[in-house]
């Protein structure tokens, strides 16, 4: 019994030391050891709803402020579309603060579909990705010394009417 306890403590110490000695990727997060895949940025899916009546998927993403870049927003778009290919119509909301991410009760309370995407309450970066037959684009907000600024990335522009 004593040997098992000593072995467990030794193994725990070795694992702890291994984590401490693991190389950092420059932003403070740990790099993947031994060539294992590690995403270049951290994000979690906090919402995945399929609205049957409208045939649209609503996805919520929470990510770190430091990782909020145009390149990473495009990557999130590609990753989510790959993970959830159906239905074609999709809205992806990206938050960098839990304050801005709606709770399930807030989602259940509904909202007005005519509302434009207002800047986040926290003042932290957020984005809304839209994919529908009319186009694919990312609207995002980010803080500046002058206040919130809005940017747009067009993935696929709407086709011109013939």
Q: For residue range 72-119, what is the model confidence (pLDDT) as tens digits?
A: 999 999 999 999 999 999 999 999 999 989 888 988 886 645 455 556
Rounded to whole angstroms, the Cα distance separating 126 from 139 reads: 9
pLDDT of residue 106: 87
- State pTM to two decimals: 0.71
Q: What is the pLDDT along the chain (162 residues), one digit of tens a residue?
A: 666 566 555 555 554 444 444 444 445 455 556 667 788 899 999 999 999 999 999 999 999 999 999 999 999 999 999 999 999 999 999 999 999 898 889 888 866 454 555 567 778 999 999 999 999 999 999 888 888 889 999 998 877 644
pLDDT, position 125: 93
pLDDT of residue 17: 42
Provide the 10 A C-beta neighbour count for residue 116: 6
What the block records as the tokens of 4 is 């098992």
What pLDDT, on a 0 to 100 scale, did the predictor assign at position 162?
46
Burial state string for 60-85 with b = 16 or more CB within 10 A and e = fewer than 16: bbbbeeebbeeebbebbbebbbeeee
Do you find a cis peptide bond into 87, omega within 30 degrees of 0?
yes
What pLDDT sits at residue 144? 87
Rounded CA-CA distance 149/43 in Å is 23
The DSSP code for 116 is -
Q: ∠ CA 67-72-74 to the nearest 5 degrees?
A: 155
């Amino acid at each position: 019994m004593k040997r098992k306890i000593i072995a467990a403590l030794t193994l725990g110490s070795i694992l702890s030391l291994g984590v401490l000695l693991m190389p950092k990727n420059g932003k403070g997060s740990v790099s993947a050891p031994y060539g294992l895949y590690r995403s270049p940025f951290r994000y979690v899916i906090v919402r995945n709803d399929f609205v049957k009546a409208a045939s649209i998927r609503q996805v919520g993403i929470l990510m770190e402020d430091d990782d909020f870049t145009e390149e990473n927003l495009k990557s999130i778009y590609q990753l989510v579309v790959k993970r959830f290919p159906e239905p074609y119509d999709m809205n992806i909301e990206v938050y960098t603060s839990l304050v801005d991410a709606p709770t399930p009760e807030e989602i259940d309370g509904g909202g007005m579909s005519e509302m434009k995407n207002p800047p986040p309450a926290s003042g932290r970066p957020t984005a809304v990705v839209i994919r529908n037959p009319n186009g694919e684009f990312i609207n995002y907000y980010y803080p500046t010394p002058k206040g919130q600024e809005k940017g747009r990335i067009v993935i696929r522009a709407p086709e011109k009417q013939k």
